[in-house]
A and B are shown apart, each in its own frame.
Chain A
Amino acid sequence: MVISNKSVSLIVSVWMSLLASAAIANPTTDSTQVSTHETHAVANDSTHANAAHEVKTLTPEEEKKEKVTAFIEHHLQDSHDFTFFSDEKEGKHYGFSLPVILWDNGLQVFSSSKFHHGETVAEVNGNFYKLYHGKIYKTDAAGTITYDEHHHPTNQKPLDFSITKNVLSMLVVSAMLLFMFISLANSYKKGPIPSGFGRILEPLILFIRDEVAIPNIGEKKYRKFMGFLLTVFFFIWLLNLLGMTPLGINVTGNIAVTICLATFTYIITQFSANKEYWGHIFWMPGVPVLMKIALIPVELLGTLTKPFALLVRLYANITAGHVVIMTLISLIFVGKNLVSDMPISLGLTLFISVIELLVAFLQAFIFTMLSSLFIGMAVQDHHHEEGHH
């Protein structure tokens, strides 16, 4: 295929002129830019915003922005049904509902379709539940929700063990992982070199072993932790990648998920720790006795801050990526000039998406890397100690 110089320069010039016209003729894009920064702030008290919604009438412009913010906020959160897209005018949602499992004086199991996407009150075994901002509250037949002075619902919240969108995503990812790696394991039965997709997976396993586990934990002890490290690495990576698809999944950008992952690292670190590790925490060698006592709470806190850094890093990175991408896409809907906004929005989204692909891998890698580092710190023999004696 031959592309002449002329047509290429024509395309470039049209692109540039579009960019220029967008910059000049569309001052409102500025305000959308601001909205990206404000997303968090607005999201923080979206309940206030919604309350304000009812009181004073908003201009269509503001209303649009509100809607975009609410949509992004909604996307970032877990949900009780799997909606691919919805038609607002007709009030239709395309997707499927998921089972809701509540612990409220006994197990209450019902389909989330009963909520009608939060529009109606679900009545199960004489109890009434209402979906409000992604959370299930116990309510009465009319669906009244009472608020405190911070506009938080004061209704009773039953323990929610529902198979939500994130739980389903995790189950799907688990099934994918099991399928991929069991077939890789089976391919070794045929010969020493894996075939097909296993050729891609094997270098990744070797990468985790040679670049992450062995340097951080040590040649002798790494083998015991490989199962956890490999599982967590591929689990996070695949979930991150799944978040990049238009299915609207955001699992690793959910604080409960990252807390759980970090808890695993914490528990494994503490339970595999050797005498020297605890010695360093409760009786720091080489410092005066008073300092030893003073250092105990500091060191104990230190064991907690490590996994805390893990969970916040993963959560913040993935959430930020999702917010940025969704905001960039929504430029199309907020801006006035579709022709000029579309290329900018799509171009920037593509650019950020490529970065997010890298981030997806990087965050999985960093999580695994730091986990193995913490484990390594807990299990390794302190050779420098012997120098003092």
Chain B
Amino acid sequence: MEKLYNDFSFGLFFWQAIILVILILLLVKFAWKPIMESITAREEGIKDALLAADNAKKEMQDLQANNERILQEARLERDSLLKEAREMKEKMIADAKEEAQVQGQKMIEQAKASIESEKNAAMAELKSQVSSISLEIAEKLLKEELSNKESQMKLVEKMLGDVKLN
């Protein structure tokens, strides 16, 4: 302790106090203040920039999500449209098939009917022709038969015979 007391020099203490006060004042004015302000300003700037970047990112994400949603909607719509079209197609095909069937059936019926009527007409004509032909034949035959007396008599007798039989 005595050594410490002996070592203590008031002059040194005095000068150091003065130097330190002046040094602190000068450094505060010309160095620490501008340095701290610049650093603070820079840090604020960085903080703001980071915040802005974060916001931009969020916005971007929102936008992306929106896009995704719209795309999804479009996809759904497309799917439903396709489905509808497919259904319509199938329905149309089915309808057409059915109509064709009905039409065919109808045509077949008509054909059948016309065939029947043609057949009937043909039959009727055939009948009339056959009767006319047979009348002609009969006429011819009668003309031939009745050209002479004898034969006429024979015929009448035959016929009378027939009638009797009846």
B19 CB within 8 Å of chain A = yes
Q: Which of B4, B15, B27 contacts A163 (CB 8 A)?
A: B15
C-alpha spacing A213/B13, complex, angstroms? 26
| Interface class of chain A by DSSP | helix
C-alpha spacing A209/B14, complex, angstroms? 29
Residues in A neighbouring B104, C-beta threshold 8 A: none
Residues A192 and B32 in contact in the complex (CB < 8 Å), given A256-B7, A257-B16, A260-B20: no
Within the complex, the shortest CB–CB distance from A163 to chain B, in Å, comes to: 7
**Chain A residues within 8 Å of chain B by Cβ, number:** 47
Which chain A residues numbered 233 to 274 have a C-beta less than 8 Å away from chain B?
Answer: 235, 254-257, 259-261, 263-264
A77 CB within 8 Å of chain B = yes
Residues A231 and B27 in contact in the complex (CB < 8 Å), given A185-B35, A188-B34: yes
Residues in A neighbouring B41, C-beta threshold 8 A: 192
A184 CB within 8 Å of chain B = yes
Which chain A residues numbered 153 to 208 have a C-beta less than 8 Å away from chain B?
Answer: 159-164, 166-167, 170-171, 174, 177-178, 181-182, 184-185, 188, 192-193, 202, 205-206
Q: Could you pull out 17 A-B pairs where Cβ atoms are within 8 angstroms?
A: A77-B7, A159-B10, A160-B9, A167-B12, A170-B16, A170-B19, A174-B19, A177-B27, A185-B30, A192-B45, A227-B27, A230-B32, A256-B7, A256-B8, A256-B9, A256-B13, A260-B20
| A residues apposed to B, CB below 8 Å | 43-44, 77-78, 101, 135, 159-164, 166-167, 170-171, 174, 177-178, 181-182, 184-185, 188, 192-193, 202, 205-206, 209, 223, 226-228, 230-232, 235, 254-257, 259-261, 263-264
Q: When A and B form their complex, which 7 residue pairs have the shortest distance between CB atoms, in order from nearest?
A: A181-B31, A188-B38, A227-B28, A185-B34, A256-B12, A160-B11, A260-B16
Known: A78-B9, A227-B28. 15 other contacts (CB 8 A): A77-B7, A161-B14, A174-B19, A177-B27, A178-B27, A181-B27, A188-B38, A192-B45, A223-B36, A226-B32, A227-B32, A231-B20, A254-B7, A257-B13, A260-B17
